[in-house]
Chains A and B, each alone.
Chain A
């Protein structure tokens, strides 16, 4: 019998979980949304995703080789970043856009800080911010409606009179959120018109389309349902935890309900918050980006604060800020606050003596 026995600190049993299994399960959870993206926008979406993933993985490997550290691309984290980058562009984007976005995300968003576990920002979101700042027209233009959505807008607009001459164009070439923003910001149209468009946007048909993905959008955020299937899987596997998504979405719901209407406080219908939650990548952000382990708080209370902060910033950006969207910037801004949140939310030990 061999007389050399392993001696180590307890515990001597270990749950079957590793960084690899966590990351590859996230990849799995993103697959339904990818499939829906391919279904709605064509095989081009798949190619763009492959470019993004390949660029991410290659960049990570190259930099790790350069840094003379073990190459860990098979842990799947770069694959996740690549997929999320592709999810944030639209299917008519040129091939080099996701490639450059991924290179930036991995190089500047992750490896420059020391790689996985040390990055301050969500790499994919940083990559998206980079693409937005560098090629804003490519990121927003060419936004495709699926046909039913287009018809909806046409019909609601055709029924209206007194529209300013440029308004239909604004509407038909814009995302639903952009329309909502335009309705809030413009003084060119009468409140009757604005209210009618708003009602149409927040009608049951629109919300259903938003939920199932029968709308335009970037590759990954088109179907809330597909994203939720993936999120449910991750929650079931205890890879994401309820606090961040729930506090994020809950905060958006409340704030939009209170401040989101176009006729002052509490003028919004209960459908408006739902509309906001289902559009503009909020589901993708709340379940897959804000929950990124590395860049979100460790403490339980911290996660609630983080989610609420993301929600509040998203609403501020959407209602007051210059962008119709706000998810990615709000998460990036909250990423910076994570060390501070963690420091001030260290829990009280079990049995803490009250003083």
Chain B
């Protein structure tokens, strides 16, 4: 039915079969949570509670650390027991607030304003900012910032990202099936805030029932349409999605979607926006996929932010074999983390468990110059050249070769017959080049 796509890309096995037909389950309250103060791109949030303070679910416990930042809220009721460094889903150690639950699930007072569309754009945006909403697809860019284009930039299209091109992950798929109305309500709020005339919901071809459902719901909507997208990775990458959905190319060298009058939000974010606006409910829970061949009972779980991965896995009855690798996020762009004692964040879309065999990686070999990485690169750069420059500490050449344009989708490393860790090299290059820029 006229699916669209972008140039380049790969076709990994999607492995969604483990969890795609599992209805979202609400996880029982965890005994303990940790709210990391950095769950987003931008300045870390500043704690406003101290050890021993009693808090309730939804209560603000940290202020935004600046404009490009978000506040944090407790996701359960209980007592602040520690403010310290904790594991973070990106593998780093990050300052966080530990809250030990009282098991009662007391909440702040929520509202229910069914006439929320009458609110002004400014009020809508304020509620989103107050609720601590950030992009829930992974990068975690504060949503209210995305909705505040600088003077002179007009946004005409909001694209909701329902692509979920990462293998294994099914959280977005499930919410699209189970909370489609909420998603569309969120989309309309987003469109109102930036006065966008058009709304697009981009869904990949492997979710035909979601496409069908949205088409049905949007039958009478003139300004919002569903765009079916070819099953190809990284179809859900922002620039690739924008190109497929609108035929616009986001400029490279730091260009943003707003440069082509587009804002992209994840479908999960749309729900968070809707709940923030209608109920003034802060972003304190989300749906996460727990999957992998060795997971006894893979699930899509609605869990409180800050719940430990170990608790989530326990809820899925653990694993059938020894774990070889823990991946926070999807298998293409997610982070391998050293411990299950890591809290989930607003950007945690999945937790994958691999056995020892799946975790095994071949030795890096010499580059055959086969050009497979060039053939599939969705950013049309030459990954093998960049890796070569980085290996030689040649940062200028790396920058000229477009190291900063790389979106780190991992397609090149996926297809490399020599098992070259292209993303690892490119990442080093990105860090070095931006260091040199600031110096």
By a beta-carbon cutoff of 8 Å, the part of chain A in contact with chain B is 1-2, 5-15, 17-19, 21-22, 115-118, 238, 241, 293-300, 303, 342, 346-353
B418 within 8 A of A: yes
- Contact status A350-B405, CB under 8 Å: yes
B12 at the binding interface (Cβ < 8 Å): yes
Q: B374–A298 contact, CB under 8 A? A: yes
B265 CB, nearest partner CB in chain A, Å:
20
Chain A residues, CB < 8 A from B424: 8-9
CB distance from A134 to the nearest CB of B (A): 29
Asked whether A300 lies within 8 Å of B374 as measured between CB atoms, the reply is yes
> Is B382 touching A1 in the complex (CB atoms < 8 A)?
no
Give the complex CA separation of A13 and B233 in angstroms. Answer: 13
B367 within 8 A of partner (CB): yes
**A347 surroundings in chain B (CB, below 8 A):** 374, 380-382
Rounded to whole Å, the gap between the CB of A302 and the closest CB of chain B is 9
Contact B385 A298 (CB under 8 A): yes
Cβ B417 vs Cβ A21 within 8 A: yes
Please name all residues of chain A whose beta carbon is closer than 8 Å to the beta carbon of B239 when the two chains form the complex: 350-351
Bound Cα distance A15, B372 (Å): 12
Contact of A116 among B249, B334, B366, B384 (CB under 8 A): B366
Our pick among B167, B362, B368, B410 for the contact of A293 (Cβ within 8 Å) is B368
Question: Chain A residues near B253 (CB, 8 Å)?
Answer: 353
CB-based contact A298/B361 at 8 Å: no
- Are B333 and A11 touching (Cβ within 8 A)? yes
User: Cα distance A238–B325 when bound, in Å?
Assistant: 30
State whether B423 touches A11 (Cβ < 8 A): yes
CB-CB < 8 A to B252: which residues of A?
349-353
The 4 closest A-B pairs by CB, nearest first: A11-B410, A117-B366, A9-B424, A293-B370
A19 neighbours in B (Cβ, 8 Å): 365, 368, 417-418
Using CB atoms, name the residue of chain A closest to B365: A19
Give the complex CA separation of A350 and B367 in angstroms. 24
Q: How far is the CB of B427 from chain A (nearest CB, A)?
A: 7
**In the complex, which residues of chain B have a beta carbon less than 8 angstroms from the beta carbon of A11?**
331-333, 410, 413-414, 423
CB distance from B165 to the nearest CB of A (A): 12
Among B38-46, B124-132, B335-343, the stretch in contact with A: B335-343
Within 8 A of A (CB), among B30-82: none
Find out whether the CB atom of B251 lies under 8 angstroms from the CB atom of A351: yes
Chain A residue with minimal CB distance to B359? A6
Quick check: is B354 within 8 A (CB to CB) of the other chain?
yes
When distances are taken between beta carbons in the complex, the residues of chain B under 8 Å from A293 are 368-371
B323: interface (CB < 8 Å): yes
| B103 close to chain A: CB less than 8 A | no
Report chain B residues within 8 Å CB of A241: 371, 375
B378: chain A residues within 8 A (beta carbon): 350
* A14 & B325 in contact (Cβ 8 Å cutoff): no
28 contacts between A and B (CB under 8 A): A6-B359, A7-B91, A8-B325, A9-B421, A10-B334, A10-B336, A10-B408, A11-B410, A11-B423, A12-B334, A12-B336, A12-B354, A13-B332, A15-B12, A18-B417, A18-B418, A293-B371, A294-B369, A296-B369, A303-B371, A346-B382, A348-B380, A349-B405, A350-B243, A350-B249, A351-B252, A351-B255, A353-B253
Report the bound CA distance from A6 to B358 in whole Å: 10
Partner of A349, one of B366, B368, B381, B416: B381
Is B326 an interface residue when CB atoms closer than 8 A count as contact? yes
In whole angstroms, how far apart are the Cα atoms of A353 and B427 in the complex?
23
With contacts defined as CB atoms under 8 Å apart, how many contacts are there between chain A and chain B in the complex?
A: 166
Contact with A along B159-175 (1 / 0, CB 8 A): 00000000100000000
CB-based nearest B residue for A75: B365
Report the Cα distance A21→B418, complex, angstroms: 11
Q: Are B336 and A350 in contact (CB under 8 A)?
A: no
Determine whether B415 belongs to the interface, using a CB cutoff of 8 Å to chain A. yes
Residues B392-422 near A (CB distance < 8 A): 401-402, 405, 408, 410, 413-419, 421
Cβ-based interface call for B322 (8 A): yes
B405 CB, nearest partner CB in chain A, Å? 4
Q: Which of B7, B333, B361, B368 contacts A6 (CB under 8 A)?
A: B361
Shortest CB distance A164–B (Å): 50
**Chain A residues whose C-beta falls within 8 Å of the C-beta of B325 in the assembled complex:** 5-8, 12
Q: How far is the CB of A192 from the nearest CB of chain B, in Å? A: 50
Contact digits for B376-389, partner A, Cβ 8 Å, 1 yes 0 no: 00111110110000
Chain A nearest CB, measured from B311 CB (Å): 16
- Could you tell me the distance in whole angstroms from the C-beta of A152 to the nearest C-beta in chain B? 42
Report Cα–Cα, A213/B179, bound state, in Å: 65
A13 to B419, CA, bound (A): 11
For B327, the chain A residues whose CB sits under 8 A away are 12
A178 to B137, CA, bound (A): 66
Q: How far is the CB of A4 from chain B (nearest CB, A)?
A: 9
Q: Which residues of A contact B336 (CB under 8 A)?
A: 5-10, 12
Find out whether the CB atom of A118 lies under 8 angstroms from the CB atom of B366: yes
Give chain B nearest CB distance to A200 CB in angstroms. 42
Closest to A8 in B: B336
B371-A298 in contact (CB<8A): yes
With CB as the reference atom, state the residue of chain B lying closest to A297: B371
**A residues less than 8 Å from B380 (CB atoms):** 347-350
Chain A min CB distance to B426 (Å): 9
User: Which among A9, A117, A303 is the interface contact of B368 at CB below 8 angstroms?
Assistant: A117
A238 and B372 in contact (CB under 8 A), knowing A12-B331, A298-B384?
yes
Residue interface mask B232-272, A partner, CB < 8 A = 1: 00000001000100000111110100000000000000000
Q: Considering the chains assembled together, what is the distance between the CA atoms of A155 and B385 in angstroms?
A: 58
Roughly how many angstroms separate A298 CA and B366 CA in the complex, as a whole number?
15
Asked if B324 is at the interface of the complex by the 8 Å CB criterion, the answer is: yes
Distance (whole angstroms) from the CB of A194 to the closest CB of chain B: 44
A22:B337 contact, CB within 8 angstroms = no
- Report whether B323 and A1 are in contact in the complex, using a CB–CB cutoff of 8 Å: yes
Q: Is the CB of A10 within 8 A of B335?
A: yes
Instruction: Give CA–CA (A221, B92) in the complex, Å.
Output: 58
Chain B residue with the shortest CB-CB distance to A18 = B417
Rounded to whole Å, the gap between the CB of A157 and the closest CB of chain B is 48
For residue A300, which residue of chain B has the nearest CB?
B374
Q: A6-B354, A349-B379 are in contact. List 19 more A-B contacts (CB 8 A).
A: A5-B326, A10-B331, A11-B414, A12-B325, A12-B332, A13-B167, A13-B358, A14-B413, A15-B12, A15-B415, A18-B362, A115-B366, A118-B366, A296-B369, A298-B369, A346-B382, A346-B401, A350-B8, A351-B255
CB atoms of A22 and B368 under 8 A apart: yes
Given contacts A5-B324, A298-B384, contact A117 B12 (CB under 8 A): no
- Tell me the minimal C-beta distance from B154 to chain A in angstroms: 19
Are A18 and B366 touching (Cβ within 8 A)?
no
What CA separation (Å) do A346 and B401 show in the bound complex? 8
A346 vs B405: C-alpha distance in the bound complex, in angstroms? 14
Partner of A299, one of B91, B382, B421: B382
Interface core residue of B239, B255, B327, B416 (most chain A CB under 10 Å): B327
Residue from A5, A296, A300 whose CB has the most chain B CB atoms within 10 Å: A5
In the assembled complex, the Cα of A7 lies from the Cα of B414 at a distance in Å of: 17
Type the 1/0 row for B316-356, where 1 means its CB is closer than 8 Å to any CB of A. Answer: 00000011111100011111111100000000000010100
From B7, B10, B358, A350 is in contact (CB under 8 Å) with B7
